[in-house]
Amino acid sequence: MLQDIKPQIYHNEFYIKTPQAKDYFFYIKEGKSLIKNDKTAFPFASFGEFTDAQPDICAHADFLFSISRHDFYLVNEQALPLSEGNGYTFAPPTVFRTLSPAWAGFAGATGCHLHRFYRNRAYCGRCGHKMEKKQDERALLCPVCHNVEYPKISPGIIVAITDGDRILLTRYAGRANPHYALVAGYNEIGETLEETVHREVMEEVGLKVKNLRYYKNQPWAFSDSLLIGFFAELDGSAEIHRDASELASAEWYARKDMPHNTLDISLTHEMIYMFRNGLLPS
Ligand SMILES: [Zn+2]
């Protein structure tokens, strides 16, 4: 999965640091990230490459996290204009699914997640004053009313519904050439994750489930989410009542007839793979 970056190690301890020439930075404009054109090179820019053209670039950078011994910063795109060219282009977040090395994709997606937090919480939701970066933790603080905002992480469930030797696979509506997926949805206020599973299964496919078993979870920066995967067994009728506004299809597939997904970074893919190959935990 995207976050499985061994032997690299993700360190998210909060520090305030000054960038060094070898350190990397993310630069994100209108949702797109500055990426090297040369696919054989490490995809992100280092400060050393830009200090001649932009001598004050380090003054507009905030430390985000480290991966092993590589430090990653975010350069404020509103304070410093950088453009395409000189070996760089702006790429949409889908690029993080295919970067080499793969752990750079995890770094980039996580950097975008933090960038959205800083941009979307630039002003206090309580009094409207400009927020400031907190000096002792990864948060924003309103200097007037002292409101504190933390990075947005929305929990959502994924559920693989099984019925003996078959599994329910879906495809989301409104996406071109969508991959096969599982029933999924966001946790609502006041719900336990198990209640979210039961509600989403009923809403999306009109089924009841039992014997919920937690499988794994996955930070999914593309939607500011933490995804929590469950396996569950069909309870009662197998007749599907599909919510056509959410799903383009929802069908039972016998294990031997299951389509092959090509996406290999997601928890959804791993859960489908585990079922197809009979590797489910008991
Ligand atoms: Zn305020």
37-60 pLDDT, tens digit per residue, is: 999 999 999 999 998 889 999 999
Give residue 179's pLDDT. Answer: 82
User: CA separation (Å) from 169 to 56, 102, 237, 248, 254?
Assistant: 51, 27, 17, 11, 10
Cα of 143 from ligand 1 centre, angstroms: 7
Under a CB-based contact definition with an 8 Å cutoff, are residues 28 and 103 in contact? no
Q: How many other C-beta atoms are found inside a 10 Å radius of the C-beta of residue 215?
A: 17
Measured in Å, residue 130 CA sits from the centre of ligand 1 at: 8
| Beta-carbon count within 10 A of 48 CB | 12
For residue 17, report the distance from its CA to the centre of ligand 1, in Å. 26
CA of 132 to the centre of ligand 1 (A): 10
Backbone angles phi, psi at 244, to 5 degrees: -65, -20
The C-alpha atoms of residue 65 and residue 88 are separated, in whole angstroms, by 23
Whether the per-residue pLDDT at 138 is higher than 90: the answer is: yes
pLDDT of residue 261: 67
User: How much distance in Å is there from the Cα of 119 to the middle of ligand 1?
Assistant: 16
| Distance, CA of 148 to CA of 131 (rounded, Å) | 9
Contact 267, 196 (CB under 8 A): no
The pTM assigned to this predicted structure is: 0.93
Neighbours of 162 (CB within 10 A): 19
